[in-house]
């Protein structure tokens, strides 16, 4: 039988209705965790929770807009009420896409930062008392290779993910003496519903974004590939990893 690294642990996952978030919630449940998943998409979230329960896992959840502090606080309160505490927070929810800079509206810019950066601020603030109450708590955030270099046609996304990465590093330092770790996964291309917003257009200068193709793997990663990395960072195996930006891109940025 595979090792169940998260028996007795409570794990809170944002963006759990699809893609990396669904794979993450499912994997943690398979490894013994009690999972509380949230997403703005009710139908997708219901499918995730139903799938975990049908496989014999323990999962609850509710709709939540991570950009809304009241919504986040209600979800965290519900998770603690259901499972008695909180050990791991996985911030997977995110939005983005490709457009020329002059096509992005102020509203799109603000919403991208609200979800990708403020959403993490909100979840950490709400979960913090519970994470600090447990030994060896941890937070794993999902950024992007776009947080590590400029990305043409993705100004809001790349800028917000860079902010998320530095928020992760800052919190890792601030809480290092309080036994609470913060790490970041930086995926390259992943086969998720979000990917449809990053389609190339004929009017793009392709040489500006061709570096996105990984040199070894002709296909994008699957969500489970990233979920496994998230689980590793959340496990005791990674107890000495704090403030890291772990790139998962098949060597694209190498």
Note the maximum CA span of the chain.
54
Residues 210-224: what's their mean pLDDT?
Answer: 67
Mean pLDDT of 35-63: 98
Mean pLDDT computed over every residue of the chain: 91
Q: Residue 114: its pLDDT value, please?
A: 98
Architecture per CATH, 10-246: 3-Layer(aba) Sandwich (3.40)
In Å, how far from its chain's centre is CA 226?
A: 9
pLDDT at 211 over 80: no
The pair phi, psi for residue 206, each rounded to 5°, is -60, -30
Task: Determine the Cα–Cα distance for residues 156 and 52; give it in Å rounded to an integer.
Answer: 34
Contacts of 74 (CB under 8 A, 6+ apart): 62, 64
Q: What is the pLDDT of residues 77-101, one digit of tens each?
A: 999 999 999 999 999 999 998 898 9
Residue 1 confidence class, pLDDT cut points 50, 70, 90 = very low
Residue 16 host element (H or E): none
Alpha-carbon distance of 48 to 126, in angstroms, equals 23
Which residues are catalytic, by number?
A: 157
* Domain spans, the chain: 10-246
């Amino acid at each position: 039988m595979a090792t169940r690294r998260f028996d007795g642990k409570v794990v809170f996952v944002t963006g759990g209705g699809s893609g990396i978030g669904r794979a993450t919630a499912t994997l943690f449940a398979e490894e013994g965790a009690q999972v509380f998943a949230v997403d703005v998409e009710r139908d997708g979230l219901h499918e995730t929770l139903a799938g975990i329960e049908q496989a014999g896992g323990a999962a609850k959840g509710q709709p939540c807009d991570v950009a809304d502090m009241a919504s986040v606080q209600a979800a965290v309160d519900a998770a603690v009420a259901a499972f008695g505490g909180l050990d791991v927070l996985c911030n997977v929810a995110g939005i983005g896409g490709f457009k020329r800079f002059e096509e992005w509206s102020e509203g799109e810019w603000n919403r991208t930062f609200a979800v990708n950066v403020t959403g993490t601020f909100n979840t950490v603030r709400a979960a913090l008392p519970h994470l600090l109450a447990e030994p060896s708590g941890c937070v794993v955030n999902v950024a992007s290779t776009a947080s590590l270099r400029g990305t043409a046609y993705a100004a809001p996304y790349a800028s917000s993910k860079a902010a998320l990465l530095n928020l992760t590093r800052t919190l890792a330092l601030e809480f290092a003496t309080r036994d609470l770790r913060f790490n970041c996964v930086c995926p390259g291309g992943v086969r998720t519903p979000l990917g449809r917003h990053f389609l190339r257009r004929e009017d793009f200068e392709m040489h500006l974004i061709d570096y996105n193709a990984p040199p070894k793997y002709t296909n994008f990663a699957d969500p489970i590939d990233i979920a496994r990395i998230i689980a590793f960072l959340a496990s005791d195996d990674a107890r000495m990893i704090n403030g890291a930006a772990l790139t998962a891109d098949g060597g694209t940025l190498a």
